[in-house]
Amino acid sequence: MTNAPPDIDVGAIAFRSAVPDDIEPLHDLYRELIPDEDPDTADMRAALVAILDNPRFGEIVIGELNGLIVATCQFISYDNLIRSPQRKAMTDSVVVKNGYRHRGIGTIMMQWVLDNLGSETTSKFIVSTAYNRKEAHGLYEKMGFDQSGYSYIFSYGEKGDF
């Protein structure tokens, strides 16, 4: 576990799109989110390059504090026929670095995503989180998200939780 400084200026966190040089710290963050997954960093780099090459694949957002990546999420926006011409958006793989949690960083990152990546043509913004992540549920409810529906996952092979 990483120990964060006792006083963090969360206002100093800068958000940006991830670049290939960010793969190692992203790998470490994702291991905190889902410890059973250990993706190959070369595969992660190739996936990030594909996302960067085609903005329709979404964006990997990172939160950086004094040169240290302390948070990340993946944002995707897509056309939705039933709500045309509006789009839907979602975020997934939201994680804040151990030692930096419970300081408002997740809230600030999610608000940044809502303010900067959604648009006036976005009809709905969906966030995906695991059923057992009660703290995350509280964050989203506090931000004004409504719980809606059920999620069902079909896993190919022996892959773990999404």
pLDDT digits (tens, 9 = 90+) for 73-118: 999 999 888 888 888 999 999 999 999 999 999 999 999 999 998 8
Those residues whose C-beta lies under 8 Å from the C-beta of residue 91, and which sit 6 or more positions away, are 73, 74, 75, 76, 110, 113, 125, 126, 127, 128
Other C-beta atoms closer than 10 Å to the C-beta of 13 total 22
d(CA 97, CA 122): 29
Tokens of residue 103, six digits: 């300081």
pTM for this prediction = 0.86
The pLDDT of residue 62: 97
Confidence of residue 1 (pLDDT cuts 50, 70, 90): very low
d(CA 30, CA 25): 9
d(CA 136, CA 131): 10
3-state secondary structure of 136: helix
d(CA 53, CA 37): 25
pLDDT above 60 (res 20): yes
The pLDDT of residue 2: 52
| 10-142 CATH choice from 3.90.1720.10, 3.30.1490.20, 1.10.3720.10, 3.40.630.30 | 3.40.630.30
d(CA 67, CA 73): 17
